[in-house]
């Protein structure tokens, strides 16, 4: 955060639009994070496929037996917040950035696309897969560990998933966010009305997103004051060093 703010000081006078400044600051923060990640020699970026994120029929049956709480009930306890944080950190980095910017920082798809230098369609794709991965991680944590039952992809030989369910699955985030065309929305409404497993899965995905919206990181006030003093000193030094 300090690095981002210090790098921003010489450029602030160029902005007279608060919205443009916000997007630019997020972009600087993104580049800073990626730079730190490269220095740390982390593992290469991982791509997520829809097949590995689809629920098994066993998991769908569990969801039908144990319905998800409503979004209004998704307020997080301290333990839940830590569990959510760990689940988010497990999301592959390129997908995690989109998830955090959209569902936690509550930026629009267009703003995320500008920050990430991506097309809006790519942002929507990464957001959906990030949400699915997060939902999967939270479900595993709730069950006390990795799910050992076969995934739907692995179980395809014993029971093929209906094509309509698979098509709906790929468009769930757009449906949830209301950015889907009317014809597809009507088709999904009809399908969900008749398909209880898809209803259960949609409720589970909505609950994961609601947890992101309600997450509020805990701040150590003493450490925050130390950082504020350090940043103030660096800011004052940077102002003095600015060309007259």
Instruction: Return the domain boundaries, the chain.
Output: 1-42, 49-217
pLDDT along the chain (244 residues), means of 10: 77 81 87 74 71 78 69 65 90 93 94 93 96 92 53 43 76 93 92 88 91 82 82 80 74
Residue 12: both structure tokens together: 């602030």
Quick one: pLDDT at residue 87?
93
Per-residue pLDDT at 146: 47
pLDDT of residue 158: 38
Residues present in the chain in total: 244
pLDDT value, residue 20: 85
Instruction: Please tell me the distance from the alpha carbon of residue 190 to that of residue 26, in angstroms, as a whole number.
Output: 39
Structure tokens at 35: 């730079």
Q: Report the C-alpha gap between 12 and 8 in whole angstroms.
A: 6
pTM for this prediction: 0.76
DSSP 214: H
132/173 Cα distance (integer angstroms): 9
pLDDT of residue 73: 52
The CB density around residue 5, as the number of other CB atoms within 10 Å, is 16
Instruction: Using alpha carbons, list the distances in angstroms from residue 177 to 82, 103, 144, 181, 220.
Output: 26, 11, 30, 12, 34
Which of 126, 136, 5 minimizes the C-alpha distance to 60? 136
Q: What is the pLDDT of residue 144?
A: 61
CA–CA dist 64, 196 (Å, integer): 8
């Amino acid at each position: 955060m300090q690095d981002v703010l210090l790098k921003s000081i010489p450029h602030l006078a160029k902005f007279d639009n608060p919205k443009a400044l916000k997007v630019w600051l997020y972009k600087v923060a993104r580049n800073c994070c990626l730079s730190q990640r490269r220095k740390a020699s982390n593992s290469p970026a991982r791509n997520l496929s829809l097949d590995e994120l689809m629920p098994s029929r066993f998991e769908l049956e569990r969801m039908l037996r144990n319905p998800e709480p409503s979004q209004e009930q998704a307020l997080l306890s301290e333990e839940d917040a830590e569990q959510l944080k760990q689940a988010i950190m497990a999301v592959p980095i390129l997908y995690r950035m989109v998830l955090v910017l959209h569902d936690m920082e509550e930026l629009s798809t267009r703003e995320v696309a500008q920050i990430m230098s991506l097309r809006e369609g790519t942002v929507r794709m990464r957001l959906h897969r990030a949400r699915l991965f997060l939902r999967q991680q939270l479900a595993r944590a709730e069950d006390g560990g990795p799910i050992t039952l076969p995934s739907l992809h692995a179980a395809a030989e014993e029971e093929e998933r209906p094509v309509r369910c698979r098509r709906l699955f790929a468009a769930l985030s757009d449906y949830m966010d209301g950015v889907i065309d009317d014809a597809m929305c009507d088709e999904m409404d009809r399908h969900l009305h008749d398909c209880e497993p898809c209803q259960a899965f949609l409720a589970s995905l909505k609950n994961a997103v609601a947890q992101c919206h309600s997450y509020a990181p805990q701040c150590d006030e003493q450490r925050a004051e130390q950082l504020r003093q350090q940043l103030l000193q660096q800011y004052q030094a940077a102002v003095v060093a600015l060309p007259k």
